[in-house]
């Protein structure tokens, strides 16, 4: 089983390494690696790791790592180009409950200020706090 898996891995990497080798022979000085080849390298790095892929394909580790990060971010998922991004305004759900919040201030003298509100607009809590503590 392990041997078969290793042969498949080598086949994937070898195929792209071969394409890169042909491109390197035919390229003109200063020409950049085509986006399609970078895309294949990034995909392989996702499967087999950046180090192994960079070594096998003869690519710079840090350039490949940067491209892998650009393609996918753990917080945002796959990234899109700015031209592909579309924003749409969604109407508020009729089932959403209105915002409810309670904030309570207390100073060292024992005085308290309790602020309660409902709805989507909040009072200027910072200004109320400054007034309460006498710093405003």
Closest Cα partner for 39 from 7, 8, 70?
A: 70
Place of tokens 């080598």: 10
Average pLDDT, the chain: 77
Percent of the chain beyond pLDDT 90? Answer: 4
Residue 89 pLDDT greater than 60, yes or no: yes
pLDDT band at 98 (very low <50, low <70, confident <90, very high): low
**Distance, first Cα to last Cα, the chain:** 73
CA dihedral 12, 21, 19, 44 (to 10 degrees): 40
Residue 121 pLDDT greater than 80, yes or no: no
Phi, psi for 31 (deg, rounded to 5) = -75, 135
Of 61 and 8, the structure prediction assigns the larger pLDDT to: 61
pLDDT of residue 62: 92
Delimit the domains of the chain by residue range: 2-79, 100-133
Name the range with the highest mean pLDDT among 47-61, 86-100, 120-134. Answer: 47-61
Interval 29-75: pLDDT, tens: 888 888 888 888 998 888 888 898 998 888 999 999 988 888 765 55
Is the entire prediction scored with pTM above 0.75? no
Given a contact cutoff of 8 angstroms between Cβ atoms, the answer to whether 42 and 71 are in contact is yes
């Amino acid at each position: 089983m392990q041997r078969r898996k290793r042969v498949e891995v080598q086949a994937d990497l070898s195929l792209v390494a071969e394409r890169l080798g042909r491109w390197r022979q035919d390229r003109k000085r200063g020409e950049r690696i085509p986006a399609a080849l970078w895309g294949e390298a990034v995909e392989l790095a996702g499967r087999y790791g950046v180090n192994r892929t960079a070594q096998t394909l003869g690519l710079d580790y840090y350039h490949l790592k940067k491209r892998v990060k650009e393609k996918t971010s753990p917080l945002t998922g796959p990234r899109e180009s700015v031209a592909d991004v579309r924003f749409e305004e969604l109407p508020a759900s009729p089932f959403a409950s209105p915002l409810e919040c309670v904030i309570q201030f207390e100073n060292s003298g024992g005085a308290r200020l309790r602020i309660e509100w409902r709805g989507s607009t909040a009072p200027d809590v910072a200004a109320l706090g400054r007034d309460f503590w006498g710093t405003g």
